A = this chain, B = another copy of it.
Amino acid sequence: MFVPSTLKDIASALGYSTSTISRALRDTYEISPETKKIIREYAQKINYRPNPIAQSLKERRSKSIGVVVAEVANHYFSQAINGIESIAYDRGYHVIITQTHESYEREKINIQHLASRSVDGLLISLSAETSDTLHLQDLHQKGLPMVFFDRVTEDIITHKVIADNEKGAFEATEHLIHKGYKRIAHLTSSAHLSISVERLDGYKKALAKHHIPFEEAYVKYCPHGGMFYQETENAIKELMNLREKPDAIFVAGDRLSIDCLMVFKNLNIKTPADIAITGFSNSDVLDLMNPSLTSIRQPAFEMGQIATQMLLKVIESKYPVYDFEKKVLDTSLFVR
């Protein structure tokens, strides 16, 4: 079986105590240079690595951070993860990624697992199904550092990183208005997600600015964030069956936008002839898509980086942190 060598192995091989080995390898001043040399060369030879499990137990930290996202197949999240890793690896932290697949239950399980596994902190983007955050409040109040990104909650006072969703949504909607569309629908994720609220606000503000009345019937929610294709298709069908059919739609989510294009294709809805569309998406293949999608892109990589920097600051702070920040990054509109 797989059994790596330990300090004790080196100690008995070389005739020193484990303390001496440990100190030699950690370069403590009390060990003579010659002894250090002997020990280090031997350790090198047998390719000794300290057991991180034992270190975690001793030092009560694991030098690892847990990440909770909806799904890695989502371009926004995979880019954010790359940002997270870019910082974490540099600082000597390991990254443990978990997916909720937009399920509240899965989110609870994953977070519980990560917490009990002694991650030093958590980077969280809430699942679409999550409306109450008691499972997180509990951990937070016990002192587990956490930073939210993208899908945040007001229930927990900590660092947060989001895109300027309201502005992004405003621009996307206004873009449709400028193109001459007047009956603009809005397809979004579940209602309790922060991004849904903010993007709805931006949508409403754009309508208001241009004196277009807001129609409740034009707003469709997908409680599972588009995890089920049928959810999206039903929403679109309902919109298309309205007496006053919308002539455009603003979609508030990466997966949702793509799914929407799928629905259009399957239902043979032409765009922009039947209905025009803009949507949030970080996909890097949008340029290849037909129909094309004018998109709002979030700075996912930077968001991951900033969230990680914030988290590490809290983790490595010697004193409890009470001063938290909500960082809002700009979005960009790509007209296609």
Contacts from A to B (Cβ < 8 Å) = 1-4, 47, 49-54, 56-57, 60, 62, 71-73, 75, 78-79, 81-82, 85, 94, 96-97, 99, 112-113, 115-118, 138-139, 142-145, 258, 261-262, 265, 283, 285, 287-291, 320
Contact = CB atoms under 8 A, between A and B. Distances in A.
Nearest to A47: B138
A177 to B, nearest CB: 25
Contacts of A2: 139, 142-145
Contacts of A285: 258, 261-262, 283, 285, 289
Given A73-B78, A78-B71, A99-B85, A3 B288 contact: no
Nearest to A292: B290
A262 B289 contact: no
Given A97-B97, A142-B3, A143-B3, A52 B117 contact: yes
A333 B81 CA distance: 32
A54 B287 CA distance: 50
B290 A289 contact: yes
Contact of A289 (B99, B112, B142, B288): B288
A266 to B, nearest CB: 9
A56 B283 CA distance: 39
Contacts of A320: 1
28 contacts: A1-B320, A2-B142, A2-B144, A3-B60, A3-B143, A49-B115, A49-B116, A50-B116, A51-B118, A52-B116, A52-B118, A53-B53, A53-B56, A53-B117, A53-B118, A57-B57, A72-B72, A72-B78, A72-B81, A73-B75, A85-B99, A258-B285, A261-B285, A262-B287, A265-B287, A285-B285, A288-B289, A290-B290
Q: How many copies does the complex hold?
A: 2
Nearest to A118: B53
A288 B290 contact: yes
Given A78-B78, A262-B287, A290-B290, 7 more contacts: A1-B143, A49-B112, A51-B57, A51-B116, A52-B117, A72-B73, A82-B99
B53 A4 contact: no
A164 to B, nearest CB: 24
Query: Which of A116, A261, A265: most chain B Cβ within 10 A?
Result: A116
Nearest to A320: B1
Contact of A262 (B72, B81, B261, B288): B288
A318 to B, nearest CB: 10
A291 B96 CA distance: 37
B53 A57 contact: yes
A116 B62 CA distance: 13
A60 B4 CA distance: 11
A91 to B, nearest CB: 14
Nearest to A50: B116
